[in-house]
Structure 1
Amino acid sequence: MADSAASMNRIMFCTVACLVLLVTLQARGDNLSKPTLLTYPGDVIMVGETVIFLCQTAHIGASRFLLECQRQSLPVEQSESKFTIVGVTLNNTCKYYTCQYCVQSSCSESSDPLNLYVRENFPPPKIFASPHKIVQPGDPITIECSSPYENVYFSLYKDNHLVVEDVNNGSTFRYKIKQTYDEDAGQYICKFKKTMANNLLLRSEPSDPLHIKVKDLPKPTISGETNYFDSEGLQIHCTAPPLNKRMWFRLISENGTEQEINDVESKNVTFFIKDPRHMENKYYCDYRIRIGNDFAYSKVSNAAITGSEPTDHTTANILRLLLAALILVATAAITFNHFNTLHRSIPLDQPSDNVTFTMESVVTATGQKPGNVYID
């Protein structure tokens, strides 16, 4: 019994000693892990926006939080881990922030510094053209400006002159030119402006320049023919004017782009269609050439209609028709000559020489007997 009581006393002593040591370490802050400082909506914000700092820790006993600023001599202290700054300006924000949390009289070490960048101008919007930056005279073109920010007003400039201002605030603006000519060519840029929550009007940086060019490329010629060795196959020939050494070709149907032949040193290409389901389609072709870092597209060719009512006859087709006609004429001539030869070679049945027909053996259609008839 004495041994058992001694053992229990030793266990209780160790437990109390551990608790005292734990409290002492907490009081000294030796086991308080370093917090993490987060910011919303991000570490790059605009003047006038609201920024939220969160001092994040896994310790459940934290009673005080401190947000420290590089420019301020005293930290901001509160009982919550979330700090909010409304209407950010260059004067009420710092470049670097850190935070701490405290348990009783002991505080953790500071978090890693967070770099907050405050912008006075929005980043530039994006600008691009569709379908292409180099278009044919008279073709339509759409210039689009876009921004990751909502509720902004865009302005479009051409050669530093205002073209149009957007009246509907959004995140995208489209400017459509129904027919593009030489006077529409030039350098375009986009800008936008936005009113912040505190009625502060901020503008964006200008977009990268977009160079619109007008280039007249004549349309290619197109022809189609059935593959002579494969009745279900089709060959489409596309021929471009001799404009450039390197050419890019495209075969188009009513369903869109069917095939492409890229970067060839020829103005003549042939597309092969093997699927019989495509034999009834209308086919077109175009080509493009490289101008600087961009491509210029030609006009689309006329249609090559294939199937039951073809409208395109190639030289090979015409030669086949002529050959078939010659064969038919030759066959008719041979057949005619054969029948003539056969007719001349068949002997007629004739009576023997010196046969005498008497009156008694000859009766006319009227039933009368003619005179004697002698046939040598």
Structure 2
Amino acid sequence: MISFLSFTVSFTCYLLVLEQASGGQISKPTLTVNSSVIMIGDTILVSCNLKDGSGAHNFSLSNTNTDTVRTEKKAEFTFTNIMESESGLYTCSYCVQSGCSDPSNHVEIYVRDTFQQPTITVIPRKIVQPGASITIKCEARYANMAFTLYKDRAIVKQETTDGKVFTYHIKNAAESDRGQYMCMYQTKPDNNRRQIKSELTNPMMIDIKDLPKPSITKEDDNVTIWIHCTAPAKYSEIWFQLLGDQDTLNFDIREEQNNKVTFNITERSKKTYYCLYRIRVVDDFADSIHSDQLYIGEEGVAAYTISNIVRLLIAAVLLIAAGCFCFKHYFPLKTEERPPELPHARDKLVKGAKDNQLVCESGV
């Protein structure tokens, strides 16, 4: 019994010594970097994280690309004013009294000499009517940058902002504003640091396209109002929109190989309508000028008041003329009857009687 117990204790001690000798009790560390985008001149912190750091000392950080090793007494490695040559795959390890750990996971440290390209957008769209307003936005990944906007490789404007977004406004767009726009950003000038630039954006084409306005007409059967919108030409792809007061969208219809659509309106309250059409140009859309306004309801009555008054006046004149004709035809006007003329001799007699203040009743 004692022999078996002694054997068990001895074998257990042997396993513990063997496990310590093989480093099996030393856990593998995890390597982390405090920045995902690292630029030349940045300061970064690389950490060798342990599950149980008791007794750990002599930390090592290895660049597997260049076979360089840095050692520290603590689990953090600081890179100040990092250089492009310090890029590479890194691992870390640490040692305790009984041995050293296996290398950690690989982490890539990529030191950039150029920023990633910004994003460039345009509002309201890349194809606009002459005279429209356009806003070009260039957005960087970092704040406090100096922006440059190009048109066909020529500098349009340079500006430094505190934020991440640079905007450029075009008012009353003309043919001269047509072209390919690109933008980039860079760090502000600093004598203590290298000025880093971003890549240029892909070219964004801005086009000025004059699409004539469509015509707009209506039909009304006192139940439904049909509004017809007709483009001046046919296109392979064309969209029509019927807009109401304050540019509210009422209908949106897509037509293939057709330049006319009809919108059905059942609401008869007073309202103003107009329509436009949209065509595809390469990877974007172009909108036409708005049609003339069409009035429905009380405003519709007001729109035709003058023509209605003219019609009513003409009808009134014709009615009066017809009434006069009928009245004269059926009710001829009576004229005052004049007394018959007396014979010449009698006339003298009567005159003589008046002179002598005599009245001759019988004419003798």
TM-score by length of 1: 0.71
Deviations 1:255-288 (A, max 9, x none): 53232112422111122345x4x84432221111
Q: Matched residues in 2 for 1:144 and 1:244: separation? A: 31
Among all aligned residue pairs of Structure 1 and Structure 2, give the percentage whose two residues are the same amino acid: 36
Return the letter of the residue paired with 2:227: I
Shift of 1:53: 1.6
Any residues of structure 2 matched to 1:340-359 within 5 Å, and which? none
| 2:253 matched residue in structure 1 | 261
Partner of 1:25: 19
Aligned residues: 305
Task: Find the aligned partners of 1:108 and 1:164 in 2 and give their Cα distance.
Answer: 56
Map of 2:34 onto structure 1: 40
Q: Report the CA distance between 1:16 and its aligned residue.
A: 8.6
Matches within 5 A, 1:159-308: 159-195=152-188, 198-226=192-220, 228=222, 231=223, 233-253=224-244, 254=246, 256-274=248-266, 276=267, 279-308=269-298
The 1-side partners of 2:250 and 2:186 are apart by: 43
Find the aligned partners of 2:55 and 2:251 in 1 and give their Cα distance.
Answer: 67
Per-residue deviation, residues 124-179 of structure 1 (Å, max 9, x unmatched): 11112111111111111111111111111111111111111113332111110111
SS of structure 2 residue aligned to 1:166: strand
- In the TM superposition, 1:143-162 aligns within 5 A as 143-162=136-155
5+ residue gaps, structure 2:
320-364
Opposite residue 270 of structure 1, the aligned amino acid is T
Higher mean alpha-carbon deviation, 15-24 vs 78-87, is at 15-24
What is the aligned partner in structure 1 of residue 48 from structure 2? 55
Equivalent-residue separation in structure 2 for 1:83 and 1:23 (angstroms): 33
What SS class does the counterpart of residue 75 from structure 1 fall into? strand
Counterpart of 1:282 in structure 2: which amino acid? T
Query: Which stretches in structure 1 are left out of the alignment for 5+ residues?
Result: 330-376
Amino acid at match of 2:241: R
Greater Cα shift, 141-150 or 99-108 = 99-108
Counterparts of 1:328-347 in structure 2 under 5 Å?
A: none
What is the CA-CA distance between 1:202 and the residue it aligns to? 0.9
- Provide the residue aligned with 2:128 in structure 1: 135
Q: Give a deviation string over 1:263-314, Cα, whole Å, max 9, x none.
A: 422111122345x4x8443222111112222222111122222222216999
For residues 215-246 of structure 1, give each alpha carbon's deviation from its aligned partner in whole angstroms, at most 9, with x where no partner exists: 11011122345565xx3x54332111114243
Q: 1:131 to 1:174 in 2, by over 3 A?
A: same
Report how far residue 187 of structure 1 moved: 1.1
Paired residue secondary structure (2:137): strand
8 A Cα contact 1:62 1:101, kept in partner? no
Alignment root-mean-square deviation, CA: 3.3
Say whether 1:112 aligns with 2:98. no
Using the size of structure 2 for normalisation, the TM-score is 0.73
Residues 185, 30 of structure 1: CA spacing in aligned structure 2 closer, same or farther, 3 A cutoff? same
